[in-house]
Amino acid sequence: MSKQFDVLVVGGGPGGYVAAIRAAQLGFKTACCESNPYADPKGEPRLGGTCLNVGCIPSKALLHTSHLFEEAGHSFAAQGINVGTPKIDVSKMMARKSSIVDQLTGGIKGLFKKNKVTLLNGHGSFVAKTPEGWQVKVGEEVVVAQQVIVATGSTARHLPGIPVDNKVVCDNVGALDIDSVPKKLAIIGAGVIGLEMGSVWRRLGSEVTILEAMPDFLAAADQDVAKEAQKLFAKQGLKFELGVTIGEVKIAKKGVSIAYKDKSGADQKLDADRLIVSVGRVPNTDGLNAEAVGLKLNERSQIEVDDHCRTNLPGVWAVGDVVRGPMLAHKAMEEGVMVAELIAGQAGHCNFDTVPWVIYTSPEIAWVGKTEQQLKAEGVAYKAGKIPFLANGRALGMGEPSGFVKMLADANTDRILGVHIIGANASELIAEAVVAMEFAGSSEDLARICHAHPTLSEVVHEAALAVDKRPLHF
């Protein structure tokens, strides 16, 4: 007889493993299957998906090491610390990154045990709906579940004619495993991965050129932030070519040559030792046998869902990168928890208006809510308060005077509509704005809260005061 579960989660990334843990906490007999494409030296199943294995966690480990390297080389001396010229041991840096990944992926296995989630090692695909529930083939066996949560995530989009070998031409997988500092690094796509990985290798000594198809830099961000970021990154040495059209890419054993048209239409050529292609991601819906069971996909091959992550099939849900919305780990986790709670008959909740974005460059970029250009386009009357980190004692003490906090609030109700930060620790500072917006807070609410001194959070406080044109320290 087939193994029977109340809930089967297909995919063990942030959306899937969190959904499985929450479902088990709510008393359901739960399993999670994972097809495990990630290389494991011991051949063991690895949980955590893109995020833990080839995404958020390894990239942040490399960003941290490269940031320290840059500080040691460029900032220590100004503070009276003389360490000479630092040298980078790339294999040690990579080994540290891998051990963090191992620790965390192993940790999720421990969480599965603790919460009594059954881990099934194998690719999941729909077979049929039967009176007992959904039959899903996992590896060689067929299991049956009343409820199925699809959390199969995404993989890097590749460009036609540019074969990725993850040695000379890399997507996110190879970009996180480069074995030596390339003298010249080319990147196609000035999005989140392009900026983060470009920063890592530039700090370590690469000459980095980023080729971007769009004429505007970071078009999704508030344009004030985007302009400041482009200026700061260019000053750091990242080279950008915007509005390009990529042509033929020739790959040799030791390098790559990229032909492209620049924004004026002139032919250009860029030679590099390595190329990273970071032009977005595609949902993993191939191999689910979606068509055979009538699971509806949209024109972008994402599984079609409503605001509660319900698909068109009864008892089938989908969360994370495989559905609409930003491809972010915390959004996937929120959806996973919501679905498990809805299955349990609870009021599962996911506020898509308060999902924060963070880019872990230096300085960091973080935002939540609407940008100024969105509010203008929507004809919303708003007030803005903007305070630079230069006016903050802690930022100066840390040697981090770049950037600003900008708060946008409704001109009539004062309700906060968006907060945009470029500056040190923006990834942490944005949490206060998320809390305020989640509880429909106003700039006045934030202005009345006592912020510790001296902290970077005082810049958020001052931005709230500035909305009402009464900043105290600027």
Tell me if residue 461 is catalytic: no
Which of these segments, 14-22, 66-74, 301-309, 408-416, binds ligand FAD (CB under 6 A)?
14-22
255 binds ligand FAD (CB under 6 A): no
Find the residue with minimal CB distance to ligand NAI: 191
Six token digits for residue 122:
């194998």
* 242 in contact with ligand NAI (CB under 6 A): no
Q: Judged by CB under 6 A, does residue 34 bind ligand FAD? A: yes
Which of 330, 383, 415, 451 touches ligand FAD by CB under 6 A?
A: 330
Provide, rounded to whole angstroms, the least separation between the CB of residue 144 and ligand NAI: 34
**Would you give the distance in Å from CA 450 to the centre of its chain?**
31
Interface of this chain with ligand FAD, residues 353 to 392, rule: CB under 6 A: none
| CA contacts within 13 A on the Cβ side of 240 | 24
The only residue of 8, 12, 101, 430 in contact with ligand FAD, by rule CB under 6 A: 12
* 328 annotated to bind ligand: yes
Contact call for residues 297 and 290 (beta carbons, < 8 A): yes
Structure tokens at 394: 């802690």
Restricted to residues 337-396, the positions that interact with ligand NAI (CB under 6 A) are: 358-360
| Coil/strand/helix, residue 131 | coil
Give me the DSSP letters along 81-99. ----S----HHHHHHHHHH
Rule CB under 6 A: choose which of 10, 62, 290, 318 binds ligand FAD.
10
SS3 of residue 458 by DSSP: helix
Q: Which of residues 160-189 bind ligand FAD (CB under 6 A)?
A: 172
Buried b (16+ CB within 10 A) or exposed e, 424-452: bbbbebbebbbebbeeebbbeebbeeebe
End-to-end CA distance of the chain: 71
Q: Which helix (H) or strand (E) holds 251?
A: strand 245-252
Residues in the chain: 474
Per CB under 6 A, 50 contacts ligand FAD: yes
Interaction of residue 93 with ligand FAD, rule CB under 6 A: no
Single residue of 120, 322, 328, 416 touching ligand NAI by CB under 6 A: 328
Q: Is 199 in the site for ligand FAD (CB under 6 A)?
A: no
Q: Which residues are catalytic?
A: 453
Site for ligand NAI, rule CB under 6 A: 159, 188-194, 196, 211-214, 246, 278-281, 326-328, 358-360
